[in-house]
Amino acid sequence: MSAETTSASPGALTPFGQPIGAPVPGWQGAASLPDALLEGSRVRVEPLTVKRHGGALFDALGLSGDAPGDGPQARWTYLGGVPYADRAGFDAWLAARAASRDPRFHAIVEKESGRALGLASYLAIVPEHGSIEVGHLHFSPRLQRTAAATEALALMMRHAFALGYRRCEWKCDALNAPSRRAATRLGFRFEGIFRQHRVVAGHNRDTAWFSILDTEWPALEAILRRWLAPDNFDARGRQRLSLSALTARASALD
């Protein structure tokens, strides 16, 4: 049974014969999101601070090395353009991110080097309904498409579901093919397109919505643990089992 069918199926009828959703026994909301350090074998996901992470993040995400198809300019295409012009602007931008409570920004720190290589956040945090989003991802080239990046996102999802959230969301520009592929690879289910959802830097943005539900998370977490296990990678760090294949197989069994 698909996630869409489960969510849409009526769970009961009112005395007036109207279908309503299934009951959620004892629901009192998810826990408020605390500041927490999340630790894996490759990375730590730490609450963002300018003092601790600013220098490393500027080196990782700053303004140099804008190669064709990559680099700071390209990485900001779907987010409205680079929001700073120099180190002072970067520090001011990062300070505002660190002070924000929704989105709640975290630095992704490589354990081996101790350096911050990227940013991620929780946002759209609604404890009373048990809904939370993972987004505002800014990964340096060194972090992109690595097991460390996958582990960071797995840690964030695990933390959210452990706090009692029922739904973890992923949203992106509908034209952002790499982000849509990343969502599917991680096991998020595509839900649809919000048309003309936003205007970003003077351009229309349709938004693609994805989600993982708490009922889907245990099986998905097992897949992520299996994929992240050291024996899934050869001496060169190449995966033996494909995460995309594992999550696709699990989705097909529903």
Asked whether the predicted pLDDT for residue 155 surpasses 70, the reply is yes
The whole-number average pLDDT for the span 19-24 is 91
pLDDT class for 11, splitting at 50, 70, 90?
Answer: confident
- Cut 0.85: pTM above it: yes
Asked whether the predicted pLDDT for residue 188 surpasses 90, the reply is yes
> Smallest Cα–Cα separation from 45: which of 102, 104, 96, 101?
104
Lowest mean pLDDT among 25-29, 69-73, 170-174: 69-73
The pair of three-digit structure tokens given for residue 238, joined into one six-digit string = 């190449």
Distance, in Å, from the CA atom of 43 to the CA atom of 139, rounded to the nearest integer, reads 13
The whole-number average pLDDT for the span 25-42 is 95
Q: What is the pLDDT of residue 64?
A: 57
Asked whether the predicted pLDDT for residue 138 surpasses 50, the reply is yes
- What count of other Cβ atoms lies within 10 Å of the Cβ of residue 206? 13
Asked whether the predicted pLDDT for residue 71 surpasses 70, the reply is no
> Smallest Cα–Cα separation from 157: which of 117, 204, 210?
210
